[in-house]
Amino acid sequence: MESLSGLFYGFSVLITPLNLVGCFIGVFLGTLVGVLPGLGPAASIAILLPITFKMPAVTSLIMLAGIYYGAMYGGSTTSILLNIPGEAASVVTCLDGYQMARHGRAGPALGISAFASFFAGTLGVVALMLVSPAIVSVALRFGSPEFVGLLLVGLTLVAYLSRKNRFQALLMAIVGLILGTVGTDPVFGTQRFSFGITTLYNGVGLIPVVMGLFGVAEVLTNLETGVEQEIYHPQLKGLLPNLKDWKASTKPVIRGSVIGFFLGTLPGMGAMIPTFISYAVEKRCSRTPERFGSGMIEGVAGPEAANNAASEGGFVPLLTLGIPANVVMAMMLGALIIQGITPGPTLLSEHPDVFWGLIASMYLGNVMLLVLNLPLIAVWVWFIRIPYGILSPLIILFCIIGAYSVEGNAGDVLVLMMFGSLGYLMRKVSLEATPLILGFILGPMLEVNFRLSLLFSKGSFAIFLNRPIALGFLIVAALLLLSALVSPWLAKVVKGGSKKTESRA
Q: Which of 443, 367, 361 is nearest to 183 (CA)?
A: 443
Q: How far is CA 225 from CA 231, 286, 422, in A?
A: 18, 37, 17
Task: Give residue 83's pLDDT.
Answer: 63
Task: Give residue 456's pLDDT.
Answer: 86
Task: Give residue 160's pLDDT.
Answer: 59
Contact 272/260 with Cβ under 8 angstroms? no
The phi, psi pair for 395, rounded to 5°, reads -65, -45
Q: What value, to the nearest 5°, has the Cα angle with vertex 382 and ends 380 and 384? A: 70
Task: Give residue 186's pLDDT.
Answer: 79
Cα–Cα distance for residue pair 399/110, rounded to 1 Å: 32
**CB-based contacts of 332-339 (< 8 A; 24+ apart in sequence):** 332/45, 332/61, 332/64, 332/65, 332/68, 333/441, 334/49, 334/206, 334/207, 334/210, 334/441, 335/49, 335/52, 335/53, 335/60, 335/61, 335/64, 336/57, 336/61, 338/53, 338/206, 339/53, 339/57, 339/60
Task: Give residue 479's pLDDT.
Answer: 85
Q: Has this prediction a pTM greater than 0.75? A: no
For helices 243-264 and 272-285, angle between their N-to-C axes, nearest 10 degrees: 130
Task: Give residue 484's pLDDT.
Answer: 67
Task: Give residue 141's pLDDT.
Answer: 72
Task: Give residue 384's pLDDT.
Answer: 61
Task: Give residue 164's pLDDT.
Answer: 63
Q: Which residues pair with 192 in a beta bridge?
A: 183
DSSP for 446-460, please give it: HHHHHHHHHHHTTT-
Q: How far is CA 96 from CA 150, 259, 261, 310, in A?
A: 40, 20, 23, 21
Mean pLDDT per 10-residue segment, the chain (505 residues): 79 90 88 69 74 83 86 74 64 79 79 85 84 73 81 73 69 88 82 83 80 79 66 54 85 90 71 78 82 84 87 83 77 80 80 88 86 71 68 77 74 88 88 80 83 87 88 87 71 61 58
Cα–Cα distance for residue pair 95/80, rounded to 1 Å: 9
The rounded Cα 271 to chain-centroid distance in angstroms is 7
Cα–Cα distance for residue pair 92/90, rounded to 1 Å: 5
Cα–Cα distance for residue pair 233/223, rounded to 1 Å: 26
